[in-house]
Chain A
Amino acid sequence: MLTLLQSYPLFAALIALLGLGLGFGAVLGYASVRFRTEGNPLVDQINQLLPQTQCGQCGHPGCKPYATAIAEGGAINKCPPGGQETIDALADLLDVEPQALDAEHGEEKEPNVAYIREDECIGCTKCIQACPVDAILGAAKLMHTVIADECTGCDLCVEPCPVDCIDMLPRKGGIEHWRWDLPEPNENKSSIIATDRAAA
Chain B
Amino acid sequence: MNTIFKIHGGIHPDEEKQLSNPGTVLDAGLPPSLILPLSQHIGKPSSLCVAPGDYVLGGQLLAEADGMVSVPLHAPTSGTVVAIEPMPVPHPSAMNNLCLELECDGEDRWIEYAGCEDWRVETPDTLISCIRAAGVAGMGGAGFPTAVKLMARDRLPLQTLIINGTECEPYITADDTLMQVDAAGIVEGAQILAHILGVEEILLAVEDNKPAALDAMQKAAKARGGDCNVMTFPTKYPSGGEKQLIEILTGKQVPTGGLPADLGIVCQNPGTAVAARDAVCFGKPLTDRIVTLTGRALARPGNYRARLGTPIEHLLTVAGFDPSQNQRLIHGGPMMGFALESSAVPIIKTTNCILVPTEQELPTPPDAQACIRCGLCAEACPASLLPQQLYWYARAKDQEQLERHHLADCIECGACSWVCPSHIPLVQYYRAAKGMIKESKTEKIRSDRSRDRFEARQERLERETLAREAQRAARRAAAEQKAAAGGADDPVAAAIARAKAKKDSASDESANS
Binding site for B on A (CB under 8 A): 47, 50-54, 62-64, 132-135, 150, 152, 174-175, 178-183, 185-188
Contact = CB atoms under 8 A, between A and B. Distances in A.
A106 B39 CA distance: 38
A50 B443 CA distance: 11
Interface in B426-459: 428-429, 431-433, 435-436, 438-439, 443, 446-451, 453-458
A150 B458 contact: no
A187 B93 contact: no
Contacts of B458: 62
Interface stretch (B132-140, B179-187, B366-374, B471-479): B366-374
8 contacts: A62-B458, A133-B454, A179-B436, A180-B92, A183-B368, A183-B429, A185-B368, A187-B369
B450 A52 contact: yes
B432 A134 contact: no
Contact of B431 (A63, A134, A180, A185): A180
Contact of B450 (A152, A175, A179, A186): A152
A183 B368 CA distance: 10
Given A62-B454, A175-B97, A179-B435, A186 B367 contact: yes
A155 to B, nearest CB: 14
Contacts of B261: none
A185 B438 CA distance: 22
B413 interface: no
Contact of A180 (B422, B435, B451): B435
Contacts of B61: none
Given A134-B457, A183-B428, A178 B450 contact: no
Given A52-B454, A133-B454, A133-B457, A175 B95 contact: yes
Residue of B370, B425, B429, B457 most packed against chain A (CB within 10 A): B457
B66 to A, nearest CB: 14
B394 interface: yes
A182 B432 contact: yes
A154 to B, nearest CB: 9
Contacts of B457: 132-134
Nearest to A82: B447
Given A133-B450, A180-B428, A187-B370, 10 more contacts: A51-B443, A52-B448, A62-B458, A132-B457, A133-B453, A134-B457, A175-B95, A179-B432, A182-B432, A183-B368
Contacts of B370: 187-188
Interface string B369-409: 11000000000000000000000001100000000000000
Contacts of A174: 97
B451 A182 contact: no
Contacts of A47: 451
A132 B92 CA distance: 38
B368 A186 contact: yes
Contact of A175 (B93, B368, B422, B435): B93
Contacts of B455: 64
B450 A53 contact: yes
A54 B453 CA distance: 10
A172 to B, nearest CB: 9
Contacts of A54: 450, 454
